[in-house]
Chains A and B, each alone.
Chain A
Amino acid sequence: MLIVLLVGVSLTTPRFFTLNNLMNVARQVSINAIIASGMTFVIITAGIDLSVGSLVAVTACMAMVIIDRTGWNFWGVAAGILAGGLGGAVNGAVVAFARIPPFIATLAGLTVYRGLALILTGGVPIVKFEGSFRFLGHGDIGGFPFPIILMVAVMITMHIVLTRTAFGAYVYAVGGNEESSRLSGIKVAWIKFWVYVLCGFLTGIAGMVLMGRLSSAQPAVGEGFELDAIAAVVLGGTSLMGGRGSVWNTLMGALVIGVINNGMNLMGVHTHYQLVAKGIIIVLAVLLDSYLKKRR
């Protein structure tokens, strides 16, 4: 599917297949891909995390406030990532132990975290054009942009966690059949809890990249990120019913969204129309995918 899309876009817009532009796509995709890899775990357990967009803002604001006040770049970033993990832990506790349905629990998280981001910054964006934190968004290692390297590292790690560890096996088991898993002696609640912590933690990492790229922290940043992440997971063929899915597929899904965005930008489609077109393309893509799966 990605290939069809790539061919289509590169035929209509010759500028697409330049190294510069491809790097651009990868860089734009990186933040969504990192969040979506955590979202993959959540969705495999038949859950959902709607709070990641707001949580991104909390992590970025948290880090920036610390960097701005103290100048300690490292501690700022560490605190930002930690805040993500903590936000995820709260989601996880509400879902796993208070047994609130994930949709509702994280919908609450969505507004609470947005509020926290506003409280942290007093509602005003913090802009800072200096500091080593900018490396996270703009730096490169051997010519490769840091966000892309980070994305690849995160994806590989998460892929290994999902396919090679006991935790990954439990995630699939709980999503495949929660009751069977429980009767098999798996501590289902704890698995669910850690899945949300992981998702929040990765959201924190994504938040740091975003902060680096924007050289600022805005309390309104990250709106709609949850939908992009969920779209990437679903485009990757992961069922919202749980039990199936892979990080690799999610990466493909994220790339599809990235290519759609980039292609429309290059073609000069107005952003208003882009939103409409993106939604339609996502539905068509999933439809095509399920059609192909049935034929197989």
Chain B
Amino acid sequence: MCRGVLGLYHISKAFPGVQALSDVSFEICPGEVHALIGENGAGKSTLLKILSGAHQADSGTISISDQKVLIDGPRTARQLGIAIIYQELNLVPWLSVAHNLFLGRERKIGRGILSLRKLHEMAREALGRINVTIDPSVPVAHLGLAEQQMVEIARALSEEAQFLLMDEPTASLTEREIDILFEKIEGLKKAGVGIAYISHRLEEIPRVADRVTVLRDGAVVFGGRLSEVTLPELIAKMVGRAITDHYPKRTPSKGAEILCVEPPPGNKRSRPLRAHAGEVVGIAGLVGAGRTEWAWRLIGASPGEEEKIHLFGKPVSIPSPSKARELGLGMVPENRKDHGLILSRSVRDNITVTVFDRLSNWAGFIDRLGQSQISREFVDRLRIRCPGDSVGVNTLSGGNQQKIVLAKWLARKCQVILLDEPTRGIDVGAKFEMYTLINELSHQGKAVIFISSDLPELLSMADRIYVMHQGDFVAELDAKQTSQEEVLHYSSGYFERTNS
């Protein structure tokens, strides 16, 4: 449809347990920005990784100007003129800008001892191509994120990249930096570079993109020019999936208020979060909205602005996770391997790690009988499948590991349980069990705070949903009456643009 197009046709890709992409076609024309949007897990990143050579497609073809090409690794992709800029930048922080620009390609400057003068000269030239003035002798670590991104772009272009893949380039930029980035993208378009652009910030798509493709569950549900579609339509297409009944039913029984977290006094934008006994409170928001950070702050695991916390009506302060535990707050973190489990220890030790103090006598000796009783109780109750509770947790599947992280807080008899993306990366069966457990917990009168990026899941499981945008709870919605569209409306920050 345009000259020199980079096209993927009928691409399918499966990972163990998931069909990441099925029959996806996607084209990048020179001089155009093609946005790729979709919910978390829709397959956007997988598609970019196939283009950049990090993954290989199971079936389908890739071609450049109608010439079929095979991208079997990152090197091939570069040789074909395809460069990717990841969300986490790939620069060496304490090397200078110039060194970073030509890292691994020093031969271009000359053989033997590197002439710094020549290096800086070529670096200035590369930066000049995108009209950026950065001193090439400065270490990258001294630059702002936006400037670092410019260095990455300059590097990609100096490698003669014709196509640029950008994965959430604005995720960690300020508004002003975003403006600069978009200005540069405009320049790149004029220079004939084709750009694929992934972003969760829907409101910026109309500003930057010419065309848009919407992915849902690994398949293309919409493709067309941005002039043909409105933002609310795009949102509807993104979430289009009907809520099926793979969520167990629960009769809510809201009790007394257990937890109330008020925003810091100066913050007028955020609402207080309340959680009652027997209630499942959902927290929605985009990746990077600050939900995980909020949870960590709440249990005192990371410092930050002081929210006022009331527990059972009494004001409390929680400076550390051990204090949170004392008060009956437990968190199942997003990253179970790094933050939830002690992989080198057994199932039993991991379940009882929160109660060693209660299990030990005055001399510090652990009551081993009591320990294995607790451990076996939760292995049974949570249906954790393992050959025995003395095996290492590293041998178990993701779903079973997740149950163990939950079990350690149940063993402690916590009243407030925070779940941060508890179903991410576990299979459908384990998800259903996790939902059943969540319902059981609320039935026992615990307050469950449930952070999830999976909107259908959140709408089905939660009683009330708070929507976080840039660290603030900008909306409080009744889960039974709201819709995915409404939640996305708030989480994308779109509501403030329409109001003002």
A46 to chain B, nearest CB (A): 11
Nearest neighbor of B349 in chain A, beta-carbon distance? A169
From A161, A165, A181, name the one whose CB has the most chain B CB atoms within 10 angstroms: A165
Whether a CB of chain B sits under 8 angstroms from the CB of A164 is yes
Cβ-defined contact, B359 with A185, below 8 A = no
Whether a CB of chain A sits under 8 angstroms from the CB of B151 is no
Contact with A along B348-371 (1 / 0, CB 8 A): 010001101101100111101000
Can you list 14 residue pairs at the A/B interface with Cβ under 8 Å? A167-B364, A169-B353, A172-B345, A173-B349, A176-B342, A176-B343, A179-B338, A180-B339, A180-B342, A183-B321, A185-B324, A185-B354, A185-B412, A186-B353
Contact with B along A178-215 (1 / 0, CB 8 A): 01111111110000000000000000000000000000
From A169, A172, A182, A187, name the one whose CB has the most chain B CB atoms within 10 angstroms: A169
Measured between beta carbons, the chain B residues less than 8 angstroms from A185 are: 321-322, 324-326, 354, 412
A208 to chain B, nearest CB (A): 25
Nearest neighbor of B329 in chain A, beta-carbon distance? A185
Cβ-defined contact, B340 with A165, below 8 A = no
Whether a CB of chain B sits under 8 angstroms from the CB of A177 is yes
Nearest neighbor of B331 in chain A, beta-carbon distance? A183
Measured between beta carbons, the chain A residues less than 8 angstroms from B357 are: 166
Contact with B along A110-153 (1 / 0, CB 8 A): 00000000000000000000000000000000000000000000
Measured between beta carbons, the chain B residues less than 8 angstroms from A173 are: 342, 345, 349, 353
Cβ-defined contact, A180 with B340, below 8 A = yes
B407 to chain A, nearest CB (A): 12
Cβ-defined contact, B366 with A166, below 8 A = yes
Measured between beta carbons, the chain B residues less than 8 angstroms from A244 are: 344
Cβ-defined contact, B340 with A183, below 8 A = yes
A156 to chain B, nearest CB (A): 14
Whether a CB of chain B sits under 8 angstroms from the CB of A170 is yes
Whether a CB of chain A sits under 8 angstroms from the CB of B287 is no
Whether a CB of chain B sits under 8 angstroms from the CB of A87 is no
Cβ-defined contact, B338 with A165, below 8 A = no
Instruction: Report Cα–Cα, A172/B412, bound state, in Å.
Output: 20
Contact residues of B with A, CB < 8 Å? Answer: 299, 301, 320-322, 324-326, 331, 333, 338-345, 349, 353-354, 356-357, 359-360, 363-366, 368, 408, 412
Q: A167-B364, A169-B356, A169-B366 are in contact. Are A180 and B326 (CB under 8 A)?
A: no
Cβ-defined contact, B321 with A184, below 8 A = yes
Instruction: Report Cα–Cα, A178/B331, bound state, in Å.
Output: 16
Measured between beta carbons, the chain A residues less than 8 angstroms from B412 are: 185
Cβ-defined contact, A164 with B356, below 8 A = no
Of the candidates B321, B343, B359, the one whose C-beta lies within 8 Å of that of A182 is: B321
The number of chain A residues with a CB under 8 A from chain B is 22
Cβ-defined contact, B365 with A181, below 8 A = no
Main DSSP-derived SS at the A contact region: helix
Instruction: Report Cα–Cα, A140/B53, bound state, in Å.
Output: 72
A225 to chain B, nearest CB (A): 29
Cβ-defined contact, A243 with B342, below 8 A = yes
Of the candidates A167, A172, A177, the one whose C-beta lies within 8 Å of that of B341 is: A177
Nearest neighbor of A172 in chain B, beta-carbon distance? B345
B191 to chain A, nearest CB (A): 45
- CB within 8 Å of B: which A213-257 residues: 243-244
B346 to chain A, nearest CB (A): 10
Measured between beta carbons, the chain B residues less than 8 angstroms from A167 are: 364
From A166, A185, A187, name the one whose CB has the most chain B CB atoms within 10 angstroms: A185
Q: A176-B342, A180-B340, A183-B340 are in contact. Are A165 and B354 (CB under 8 A)?
A: no
Measured between beta carbons, the chain A residues less than 8 angstroms from B326 are: 185
Instruction: Report Cα–Cα, A19/B349, bound state, in Å.
Output: 43
Instruction: Report Cα–Cα, A261/B363, bound state, in Å.
Output: 39
Cβ-defined contact, A181 with B338, below 8 A = no
Of the candidates A161, A170, A184, the one whose C-beta lies within 8 Å of that of B325 is: A184
Instruction: Report Cα–Cα, A161/B360, bound state, in Å.
Output: 12
Measured between beta carbons, the chain A residues less than 8 angstroms from B360 are: 165-166
Nearest neighbor of A175 in chain B, beta-carbon distance? B344
From B331, B342, B365, name the one whose CB has the most chain A CB atoms within 10 angstroms: B342
Instruction: Report Cα–Cα, A177/B344, bound state, in Å.
Output: 8
A173 to chain B, nearest CB (A): 5
Cβ-defined contact, A183 with B366, below 8 A = no
A105 to chain B, nearest CB (A): 22
Q: A165-B364, A166-B366 are in contact. Are A183 and B301 (CB under 8 A)?
A: yes
Cβ-defined contact, B322 with A186, below 8 A = yes
Instruction: Report Cα–Cα, A165/B366, bound state, in Å.
Output: 5
